[in-house]
Amino acid sequence: MTAAVFEGQYKWHPAADDRRLAQACVDVRAGRYLSASETLKDARWDFDLRSHRSLVLASEAADSDLTERWLAEVADAESALMWARVAVLRVTRMAATDDPRLIPLVRIAMAACERAAEEFPEDPTPWVAQLSMARLLHYRDPAPHGMMLAPPGPWSLFSRILSLDPWNREAHHRMLPFFFERNGGSKPATWDVAHFLGQRAPVSSPLRLLPLVALVEDHDPKALLADHIWQQPAWRTTAANAYHNWFPDTADYRFTPVLDLSYLAHALFMANLEFEARAVLTAMGPYAARMPWSTFGHAQQQLTRARRLCGLGTPEKT
């Protein structure tokens, strides 16, 4: 990872500095799929990268018939994966509505995920895509041993993913929100899952940030001293450990992991660890993610405030 130098403006696109992905997004918007296919083939055995690229490409393709046309013309692991990703994305976008087409779309998405898994059995990504629909499918599997509350959920599907890729980033980040209070879960369940998933990961894994994701989700601006929670010893230690044990490894990533870096930078900044926060923000270059900043106000304004207080350059207008 070698992020570009910040030159006064943020770049919000999720492709960030993955130039191959960025070009494929342009082609997908123009109705072309060849570069998307090559981009996914390039990441066939880097499952976190394949997961990230396929998700970003699906967001560009979901409003067109590109994936259906691609699958009809070239039936392979890449076209099947993209069809699954797009089908699931259409379901999740419609999930908050009472549209009668939702149930048929869920069936289509399930079939698409199963086909993608058949095309490339070693790839966990089709199952990760299916995990995105967990709330709609009402999974109530028993939780694994080692948890305090052991909340039921899509644990069997999650276990299937881990059998293919034990530390799959997206799978963990799909699993945790299943237990969010706004998704029908509870705060105690969220904390139980966040700590269980985070603590079982290697110390150098970005999954150690999962409790910080739960902390942002739990943020209540009306609570007394709400913004000071990050300064408590446990949370300062969590952020500092991620800074020392995971952050140095990001220099070897094939793309800037903007979202994870954003959560880390935010936690360090809120914990008054400005030196460390400055290093993380600098590593991000111009690339930005709206989370977790948008939880605390206008995302760009919150990010700009953090950069300014850490002594870094900011856009002229926010």
- Residue 185 and residue 273 in one domain: no
Q: List per-block mean pLDDT (blocks of 10 residues) for the chain, which spans 318 residues.
A: 76 96 98 98 97 98 96 97 97 86 93 98 98 92 93 97 98 97 95 96 97 96 87 97 97 94 98 97 96 96 96 79
- Residue 19 and residue 67 in one domain: yes
Identify the pLDDT of residue 5: 77
- Residue 143 and residue 121 in one domain: no
Task: Please give the residue range of the domain that contains residue 295.
Answer: 209-318
Name the packing angle between helices 102-119 and 77-94 (round to 10°): 160
* Residue matched to tokens 């009306």: 222
Q: Which of 175, 164, 172, 181 is nearest to 205 (CA)?
A: 172
Identify the pLDDT of residue 61: 97
- Residue 126 and residue 48 in one domain: yes
List 88's β-bridge partners, or say none: none
User: Which of 172, 200, 228 represents a domain boundary (last residue)?
Assistant: 200
- Residue 115 and residue 25 in one domain: yes
Number of neighbouring beta carbons within 10 Å of residue 148: 12
